[in-house]
Chain A
């Protein structure tokens, strides 16, 4: 009987640790994406035409792929990740 309790307790602990790992993974997705975009902007600054806007047409000023990647990462982190982690925690509490 006691060994059953111990096994269940150990299983719960492992499950909690895995869930924490999952929350951390979700929280890391946005910052890692933004970092990738930042690295791209540093490696290929000519992709960010806003840094040297003279002579650029409308579409070239609108298209800033490294900034798009940074924006996607930040928006995901601000708008999507918190709700997902909150629901994960809620599931853990149930």
Chain B
């Protein structure tokens, strides 16, 4: 009970992830604008995206342990954590030159699709059930649709459009996550079963 009282509200966790995605999105957008050759001139920038992806995969484990309330939630967050760590590790290997086959970049669209599916399967209510339900549906489809950008960028790594699209997915995802609320209406709709709305 005491441990539960010490836990932050779930919406706050969404906002912290949103902040991480916003930082990542801005950096990836800058990378798309100047091109990978200029961006990779400094080692810390070259490792930034893979490290953050790997770290966010690690952080998904405590989210799985402390913020899930059903088997479906546990499976969704667990698979999510694994693919994010896989993509981060593959990108780290590529950045370090330990991995040479560019097809390892395909772990990123895989992580997008699995993450999107995780968003969708652990939201069992309809789009307009509550704000939280809407956010989960929107974020899920955004990631599944957004997977096309890292997929195409694997084959055309210098493309401004594909790299900017990849960055934009993170910025839009951050915006969507910032809109998350534990119990709040969406477009005037809130199921009476969702609970009492607050601020």
A contact set with B: CB distance below 8 Å: 22, 25-26, 29-30, 33, 46, 59, 62-63, 65, 68-69, 72-73, 75-76, 80-81, 83-84, 87-88, 90-91
Contact = CB atoms under 8 A, between A and B. Distances in A.
A interface, over-half SS: helix
B51 to A, nearest CB: 14
B15 A72 contact: no
B9 interface: yes
Interface residues of B, number: 23
B34 A87 contact: yes
Interface stretch (B25-33, B96-104, B128-136, B184-192): B25-33
Contacts of B22: 33, 68-69, 72
Interface of B: 8-9, 12, 15-16, 18-19, 22-23, 26-27, 29-30, 33-34, 37-39, 41-42, 45, 178, 199
B38 A88 contact: yes
Nearest to B44: A83
A83 to B, nearest CB: 6
B19 A68 contact: yes
Contacts of A68: 15, 18-19, 22
A65 B15 contact: yes
